[in-house]
Structure 1
């Protein structure tokens, strides 16, 4: 299975997503994980293009409506899809997933539920709920007014404003501590870690501990970004739970081919069988 994390939607995000899909198809991957946690949005055109990799050409992605509920703009796909039902997509979201990221998660969830031409599931916690469109109007050289002029609506006429996208599988966020938190805990997290603290232990023991801390810090600093990211992913509770879902989906599709033709039936089976607390040994997590 393959994993991609997008912090923001840019033109480069389109290329990254396309490469991920093609690579997973070549390797006949069991599934894709698209991590949109902490993604606060970005270019809407990028979202439309990525959605077009899954949806039929000309499919509505999102439209904007004014206060009179009249349509202002419609955004539709303009490319030919490259994803079929054989590779399921699992989209990770949390309460910091906002705006354009919510639109992508919501529209893929919507179409996957409706036509069964591809499989997409949303995993995590309810998203932020930022579905409004703002316009900045200058009123003087150093002053401007920012007005909300419209709301985004998904194809099922659902507005994410103030509501957000509800995941198919609700899994609480249990991320491991960041590098900054680890550093703080190491040097300031306990009284015994503070410099010049009153210590009752032998000086030799303290010296050995200090040398070990320096050695660990040096080893961590020598690790590449890829190695640190891989370690972080391998201990990420939500990613591990999603890997379990992909493995489980593969098993139920093989065991019950007649009962897994529709997304609704698959969702019902997985919800019944899935327990986030179960353990899973992962030999390799491909990126």
Structure 2
């Protein structure tokens, strides 16, 4: 009996041990709580980061849609678009005074002449007055109200006559530029306000290369433009001359084209 009582009383320590084991269990639960909190914090931070990043991208597209669209396009444009945007490499420059590209015929009312001194055949507009010097033969339009053939006309522009003029000079030389300079020095270089505007090679209506010279000067207070073109023929160079008011410089170009179409060495 006593042994049984002892056994009964000895059960108390075992119950105390059980109670101790139950107290240790909350410690494990408390230890796991920081880990869960850290995982929860990480998830929340990632969610906030994704939300902020998406919102920033949306705002950037709204603020600057042009750059966003540019970034979305391919780095290289199609070849057809680039070709359309750039200037054409084969574009020809604008023609200057005295440059003729289209075929020209002699006006039907022009009068044909043969000049023995200059050894040339060509045509001139009707009613224009002739003037000759040691360098060339000229035909100059008559002043308004003057009958054709009356009065005198001057290639250098010192006598009566209109601003329009054509002329032909024959120079015993083989260098076209030298022939142009010789005629210019003789007829125009001494005039007031003289200016040489340009010179260079052009393609003649016969497809032969020729030199051309363009200048201007003051004639009776009015600026006029002259065009000279050199044509080689054997041991000589023919210099064709056309002149008009500088306010209508294209007229000199037209006169030169018609004169060239009518001209042949005699």
Q: Which has the higher strand share?
A: 2
Which TM-score applies when normalising by structure 1? 0.22
Structure number with bigger Rg: 2
Which TM-score applies when normalising by structure 2? 0.23
